[in-house]
Copies of this chain bind each other. A is one copy, B any other.
Amino acid sequence: MYKLYDYRPSGNGYKVRLLLTQLGLPYEYVEKDILQRETRTPEFLAINPNGRIPVLELEPGITLSESNAILIYLSEGTPFLPTDKLESAYVMQWLFFEQYSHEPYIATSRFLLHYAGKGDQMRDVIEQKREPGYAALVVMEKRLADHPFLVGDRYTIADIALYAYTHVADEGGFDLSGFPGILAWIDRVKSQPNHMLITETHLGQT
C-alpha cells in the first residue's frame, strides 16, 4: 500500500490525496508538520533530500517526491492523463506553469498569511506576490473563459494541480470575483466523483 508523507494544509499534498482518492487507491497517511520543521530532520531528508512534502512511498524504500511528478506517475494509463501526445503535452505545460508561475505567489501568500501567521512581518513579501499571482490567474481565466477544463474537454491532473491552490486563493488575499471562468471551473472540479476537501486526509476524514 502506498504511504503518503504530507502536511494537511498543503495544497501540494492535497493534489496527491485527491488523485489517490479519485483513483480509488488506498494509502497510509503520515503527517509531517512543516511548521515544526519535521521535513528537515535527518530521517526525513533521507526520504527526500529536498526536505519537502508530499512524498509518496511506492514500496518500502522507494519514494517519489514533487507533487506534480507524483500526479503524472499515478495517472499514467488512467483517464486523468490524456493519451493524445499534444493533450498530454498541454497537461505538462500547465503542471510546470503551476509550479513556476502560480504556486510561488498564490500558495506562498496563503501560507504566510493563513498558516505561518506572518502577515504583518512579511507584508512587503506578500505585496510583491500580488501582481504575479494575479497574472497567473489571468492566464488561467484566458483558457477557462471558454473551455470547461484546462486541457481538452475533460478533467485531468492539470485541473487537480491548478485547483489545489486556486480554490483557496482567497486565503492568500486573492479576490477571484473578477474571474468568472475560474469560478465556474472551480464548481465543475468540485462536482467530480469522489471529490474531497483540502482539509481531508481521506474522503470524509478531516
Binary contact readout A15-47 vs B (1 if CB under 8 angstroms, 0 otherwise): 000000000000000000000000000000000
Copies in the assembly, this chain: 2
A interface residues, how many (CB within 8 angstroms) = 35
Are B93 and A96 in touch, CB under 8 angstroms? Answer: no
> Which chain B residue shows the least CB distance to A99?
B100
Given A69-B89, A89-B73; A139-B96 close (CB under 8 Å) = no
What does DSSP make chain A's interface, helix, strand, loop or mixed? helix
Are A85 and B76 in touch, CB under 8 angstroms? Answer: yes
- Chain B residues, CB < 8 A from A95: 69, 96
Nearest-Cβ distance from residue A23 to partner chain B, whole angstroms: 15
Tell me the bound Cα distance from A34 to B86 in angstroms. 27
Contact of A97 among B66, B97, B135, B136 (CB under 8 A): B66
Q: Which A positions have Cβ atoms within 8 angstroms of B?
A: 49-50, 52, 58, 62, 64-70, 72-73, 76, 85-86, 89-90, 92-93, 95-97, 99-101, 103-104, 135-136, 138-139, 142-143
5 pairs from A and B in contact (CB 8 Å cutoff) = A64-B90, A66-B100, A69-B89, A69-B92, A69-B96
